[in-house]
Structure 1
Amino acid sequence: MKIIVGLGNPGSEYAHTRHNIGFEVIDLIAQQHGIRLNKNKFHALFGKGSIDGEELLLVKPLTYMNASGEAVGPLLHFFKLPVDDLLVIHDDMDLPVGKIRVRQKGSAGGHNGIKSIIQHVNSQEFARIKVGVGHPQHSREAVIRYVLQGFSGDEQIQISSAIERAALAAEAWLTLPFSQVMNTYNANK
């Protein structure tokens, strides 16, 4: 079994914001494959299903972004899954709106949700799909406001396409060699 975690913040006030891209990708995968996110344990909403014969968990941590590891760590432990079987989908301000980047491992890169997961699973060796949300050229306070905003009309088309590509990349990660997933989804399109 593998686990795909989409990062975001719980609550309707955060729905469709830049910081909740991970939740939106999880929702799309769940909808397309009839996977019900109907279990609420370990500070997470999750559901079990299968795609292309691969059993998986789709997970939305309910801890708020900066404490995502408090949900991911216990889930990995409970299901006895190694970090090799973990994929995390999250927003990335260093990428332009609508661009995705697939990575096999790495540091938190300033993302507090990823930092929390690294702390709780004691490893940086898990796969990620980063979805670009752009970056404001202002102060730290402006950055915090920015990630909790929705997308403009012009950005909406780009982000919808990025959510679809991220979902496809996550599905490919389940069954294909990682290098193939990277070569396909990191290409400039």
Structure 2
Amino acid sequence: MKLIVGLGNPGNKYEQTRHNVGFHVVDLFAKQQGWAWSEQRSRAMLASGTFGSEKVVLAKPLTYMNNSGESIGPLMHWYKIQPEDVLVVIDDLDLPVGKVRLKSSGSAGGHNGLDNIIRHLHTQNVPRLRVGIGRPAHNRMETIDYVLGIPPTDERILLTTGEERAAEAIPLILRQGVAIAMNAINADPEAQREAEEKQRLRREKREQERVRREEERRTRAEQLEQITSEEQVVPPQDER
């Protein structure tokens, strides 16, 4: 059994804020699977179903972000699951807007909701799926104002793309497990394209060098042949 937790703040006031990325991702996944948010337990809204042969429960804590552990701890106890069977979906200030990364464990990285979960579970071994929200362009802007702010249209487009990518990553995680899925999810398409372009340029350079060497070899062969031909020419006889 797996428990997938999207972190956010309840209520219409926070619905479209950057900090509610986790809610958005599990909402998307629930919609894709046709699962309804029809149950409430341990101060969380729940949706559940079967993925493959495994039962999966989706949760949106109603405790507000900074107290998420107060909901997740009791839920894990109720379902009798271990931290490694939980996936927490969060927003991340340290990732560019829309970037998605999967991590199996580690510190909360300054995310108060994840930090509260870690403190309640007494372990950092909690897998987390992170969606980048970037940092404020103006350093004077308080972090709390930024994460609780509604992104402008151009940023919202990038963020929505990231949320969709994260929702699409969940089936991969469920099928392959966190350790294997990380390789695919964390691959940076742009970096991969740059690497492929560098490989292409290296191949072109090697081919150009090969052609140059071949031309030099052919030129030397022609010069040698010409010298040999000249040496074989019989000088005219003196008729005197």
Runs of 4+ in structure 1 deviating by more than 6 angstroms, as ranges, are none
Return the offset for 1:154: 1.0
Amino acid at match of 1:166: A
Q: Which has the higher helix share?
A: 2
**Partner AA of 1:24 in structure 2:** H
Q: Deviations over 1:27-64 (max 9, x none)?
A: 00111101111111211011221223321000000000
Question: How far did residue 159 of structure 1 move?
Answer: 1.1
Paired with 1:47 and 1:149, the residues of 2 have a C-alpha distance of: 27
Structure 2: distance between partners of 1:105 and 1:179 = 11
Q: Which letter does structure 1 place at the counterpart of 2:18? A: R
Matched, 1:76 2:70: no
| 1:142 aligns to 2:139 (yes or no) | no
Aligned letter for 1:138? N
Give yes or no for the alignment of 1:24 onto 2:24. Answer: yes
**Is the CA contact (8 Å cut-off) linking 1:108 and 1:115 kept in structure 2?**
yes
Give aligned-pair identity as a percent.
Answer: 47
1:4-83 → structure 2 map (5 Å cutoff): 4-83=4-83
Which residue is equivalent to 1:131? 131
Using CA pairs below 8 Å that are at least 6 residues apart, which structure has the higher relative contact order?
A: 1
Q: TM-score, normalised by structure 2?
A: 0.76
- Secondary structure, counterpart of 1:123 in structure 2: coil
Check whether the contact 1:54–1:175 (CA below 8 A) recurs between aligned residues: no
Q: Structure 1: which amino acid aligns with 2:2?
A: K
* Cα drift, residue 135 of structure 1: 0.6
Greater fraction of residues in strand: 1
State the alpha-carbon separation in 2 of the partners of residues 177 and 43 from structure 1.
28
Give the TM-score normalised by the residue count of structure 1: 0.95
Distance 2:178 2:42 in 1: 28
**1:171 aligned counterpart, secondary structure:** helix
Greater Rg, structure 1 or structure 2?
2
CA offset digits 1:103-138 (Å, max 9, x no partner): 011111111101100011111111101100011142
SS in 2 for 1:58: strand
CA contact (8 A) 1:10 1:62 kept: yes
> In structure 2, what is the Cα distance between the partners aligned to 1:17 and 1:161?
15
Aligned residue pairs total 188
* Farther-moved stretch of structure 1 (45-54 vs 118-127): 45-54
Q: Tell me how far apart the structure 2 counterparts of residues 171 and 69 of structure 1 sit (CA, whole Å).
A: 24
Indicate the residue corresponding to 1:181 in structure 2. Answer: 181
- What SS class does the counterpart of residue 81 from structure 1 fall into? coil
Query: Could you tell me which amino acid in structure 2 is paired with residue 26 of structure 1?
Result: V
